[in-house]
Amino acid sequence: MDDVHAFPGHIPCDDRSQSEVVVPIHDGEGRPIGVLDIDSHREGHFDEIDGEGCRLIVEILEKSGNTASSATYQRT
């Protein structure tokens, strides 16, 4: 998103944020469990290469099964 202020309802993580890349993260069942959210204080800071890099990071996380809802906890 080149200008977060152009999106109605945007909730900034930081009031100085001007642009961001947001990619949803899904568990092994395809359910959304979170987002990778990267902000910049500069408007128009991110390009398609940045977006693709973020999508690849999320893809690696999803394929690894290392997502919050897939973790197994054992009480000792």
The CATH number that applies at residue 59 is 3.30.450.40
pTM > 0.85: no
Q: CA–CA separation, 19 vs 39, rounded Å?
A: 6
What's the Cα-to-Cα distance from 73 to each of 2, 7, 60, 68, 76, rounded to whole Å?
Answer: 40, 39, 22, 11, 10
Specify the range with the lowest mean pLDDT, choosing from 3-7, 18-22, 33-37, 49-53: 3-7
| 76 in a structural domain | no
What's the pLDDT band for 67 if we cut at 50, 70, 90? low
Q: pLDDT tens across 24-41, in order?
A: 999 888 999 999 999 999
Number of domain units in the chain:
1
Q: How far apart are CA 12 and CA 63, in angstroms?
A: 29
Range of the domain at 45: 4-65
